[in-house]
Amino acid sequence: MGAGISGDWSVPETFLLGPDTRQIDLALKLYSGIEHLGIVAPHGHVSPALLADPQARFANPHELLVKHDHYLFRLLYSQGVPVEALGVGQAECDPRAAWQTFCSHFHLFAGTPSGLWLRLELTRLFGVSEKPSARNAQAIYDQIDARLGTPEFTPRALFRRFGVEVLATTDPATADLSQHAHAQADGFNVVPTFRPDAVLHFGRVGWGGHLKTLEQFSGRSIESYETLLDVLRQRRADFRAQGGTATDHDARQVALAPLPAAEAERFFGLALQGRLDASQAAQLEAHALFDQARLSAEEDGLVMQLHVGSVRNHNPLLFQKYGPDMGSDIPQQVNWTHGLRELLGTFGNSPDFHAIVFTLDESTYSRELAPLAGHYPALRLGPPWWFFDSVLGIERYLDAISETATFYNTVGFNDDTRAFASIPARHEVWRRTIANWLARQVMRGILDMDDAQRLARLSARELAVQAYYFDLPSEVNP
């Protein structure tokens, strides 16, 4: 242990459980049945390069834990900490100085999901026994850095240590899937997820450049919407051949509906000329997403994930200076009932179509999403996303959906993270919160213990396996 690190910051057995003794006892019993289950991570943003190269290493504690985690730097930015001081958005920085800044402001994460995840990561993974602060920042840096230099802390070694059964990355339409192939050849189940947003967000800044990149990648000139659709069809096949089971789409709207073919081609021509207005861009995007659903339903069976309800890159200063994913996504209202009507009316009753929806408008869970998922066979609810991937957010989600959608119309948990070391921490918070919530339902007589144990195991692993069609053994008896 590094000099200057003392005290006790360990995680107790009853972490996140309670409040009373009976609930804790029941929750511990439920948690004991799921805590050692393998991790199924069906949606995230870890780079496949980490697992493709057997020589890959984490550069330093700052690179591993801070630099790529917008959960962290968005909060610090709100408190006046410049992102530059955290080494974010820069090709080069002094990692020790950035780490010092981070630890000096660690108290700001009290009560947040990031604070809980970091506590689990630092104590369980790196043996840190004292809460980070300005005083002990460099000692903790040295302690973590020393471990990162050992064979036990390579990405591949941690993948095995974490018990990850499958890790799905999120990859653009132009992704070179060779990294997934290299990882898989060495026994690491890392599969791609097809995310064509860059070429389907017509009219957005940079769309033309993304289209040119796709042309170069595919070796085809894309001068019509039908050609674009055909190129994406082939790319979907490539992803599927490499083990991919799903697509992922960030939609500005939920009103997905087809256009007449001639109108779609006219709008696409305007997009090529840079003359597409906002209304036309929205209609063409809705049409294109409807076509992606059609491909899933009628051709390749890929599960369609829809993330709706986020105004991306709300802060123009940060977006213009550093680009996307700087923590300034902000929730907005979504109308799912009317917005999904045409999509579900067309594909929602089909056994060959499977859609998973995520939202930042959590008020819609009980009002719209749970009733929709509780009716349409093709629809499943994703877990709380972004701001609501938290203890209280998970509890509100379970309260809202359990009676109407039921657990069986959800997909369990995904960590949705870029921060590789946080994967087991995020799953542990989910599993503990699920166990505690189920224990409360047992105490109230809503569930018996047998049902609670089954739902715990489903939520911890099995629902994700089923929803994403992973070729993994079942851990739950029929």
Q: Where are the domains of the chain?
A: 58-153, 155-467
pLDDT of amino acid 7:
52
CATH number of 155-467: 3.20.20.140
pLDDT confidence tier of residue 69, bands split at 50, 70 and 90: confident
Closest CA to 417 of 392, 383, 391: 383
Q: Which residues contact 383 (CB under 8 A, 6 or more apart)?
A: 358, 389, 394, 397, 410, 411, 412, 413, 414, 430
Task: State what percent of residues in the chain have pLDDT above 70.
Answer: 98
Closest CA to 238 of 304, 181, 161, 155: 181
pLDDT confidence tier of residue 1, bands split at 50, 70 and 90: very low
Average pLDDT of span 187-205: 96
SS3 (DSSP) at 85: helix
Average pLDDT of span 14-20: 97
Q: Is the pLDDT of residue 478 over 90?
A: no
Rounded Cα gap, residues 302 and 352, in angstroms = 9
pTM of the model: 0.95
Q: How many CB atoms lie within 10 A of CB 216?
A: 10
Q: Is the pLDDT of residue 89 over 50?
A: yes
Rounded Cα gap, residues 248 and 233, in angstroms = 14
pLDDT of amino acid 325:
76
Q: How many CA atoms lie within 13 A of 44 on its CB side?
A: 27
Q: Would you state the CATH architecture of domain 58-153? A: Orthogonal Bundle (1.10)
Average pLDDT of span 443-456: 98
Rounded Cα gap, residues 194 and 130, in angstroms = 41
Q: Is the pLDDT of residue 4 over 70?
A: no
The encoded tokens of residue 254 equal 């939920």
Helices (H), 5-79: 21-32, 49-52, 61-65, 70-78
pLDDT confidence tier of residue 2, bands split at 50, 70 and 90: very low
- What's the angle, vertex CA 313, arms to CA 396 and CA 395, rounded to 5? 5
Q: Which of 312-321, 362-371, 397-406, 453-462 has the lowest mean pLDDT?
A: 312-321
